[in-house]
Structure 1
Amino acid sequence: MIITPAFAQAAGSAAGAGSAAGSFLSIAPLVLIFVAFYFLMIRPQQKRMKTLQASIGAMKKNDTVVTAGGLVGKVVSVDDVYANVEIAPTVKVKVVKATIVEVQPLGGKPAND
């Protein structure tokens, strides 16, 4: 029982058509994982960063801020790049606005109580 070359070539082309669908099915789980990561991790982080940047841009005197270093204080004045923050009754520090991780509006709990 010998298979003719023509029959063998036809079988190879049928396997090639099936391999295109097989390669798509092998890539599909990776695409689904990326979509899940986007909606569960990337998109919420982008929304959080947008709200943080908006709150830093709207920061004004007497707002309570938390820096990346853990300092909690009340804003005394705001510049384009820096914010002067009072961390104790007579202690004021100049903080780079990019290091602020949280802004609480007026009426927040004071840092030294």
Structure 2
Amino acid sequence: MDMLIQLSPIILMFVIFYFLLIRPQQKRQKQVRQMQSDLKKGDSIVTIGGFHGSIHQIDENIVVIEAGDGTKLSFDRSAIREVKS
């Protein structure tokens, strides 16, 4: 019984960390994976590096992005940060 009372602050701290840090991070990662799997040709996107363009071609892991001047660059699908509406 005394051992449980001594460990209760550590257990409480872990529960608080889980709900304040771990769980929200997992939720964000799930949203990013969903967004990256829903990419389609013609979407306007922004990469992690800040490159703006639209998807010209998409494969399983590679995305070809076309810039405004017609330049085409290949990126990993995981480099896509957001889809602009």
Coarse TM-score class (shorter-chain normalised):
0.7 to 0.9
Give the aligned residue type for 1:48.
R
Q: Which has the higher strand share?
A: 2
| CA shift digits 1:7-57 (9 cap, x unpaired) | xxxxxxxxxxxxxx3332221111111111111111111111111111111
Query: Quick one: which of 72, 75, 97 aligns to 2:77?
Result: 97
* Structure 2: runs of 5+ lacking an equivalent: none
Partner in structure 1 of residue 19 of structure 2: 39
Aligned equivalents of 1:33, 1:41: Cα separation in 2:
12
Aligned equivalents of 2:81, 2:45: Cα separation in 1:
8
Percent identity of equivalent pairs: 35
Task: Tell me: higher relative CO, structure 1 or 2? Use CA pairs within 8 A at least 6 residues apart.
Answer: 2
TM-score computed with the length of structure 2 as normaliser:
0.85
Structure 1 residue 100: Cα displacement:
1.6
Q: Number of paired residues?
A: 85
Give the aligned residue type for 2:46.
V
* Structure 1: runs of 5+ lacking an equivalent: 1-20, 109-113
Query: Quick one: which of 48, 65, 69 aligns to 1:68?
Result: 48
The within-5 A match list for 1:19-34 is 21-34=1-14
Aligned equivalents of 1:65, 1:29: Cα separation in 2:
45
Structure 1 residue 72: Cα displacement:
1.9
Structure 1 residue 96: Cα displacement:
0.4
CA RMSD of aligned residues (A): 1.5
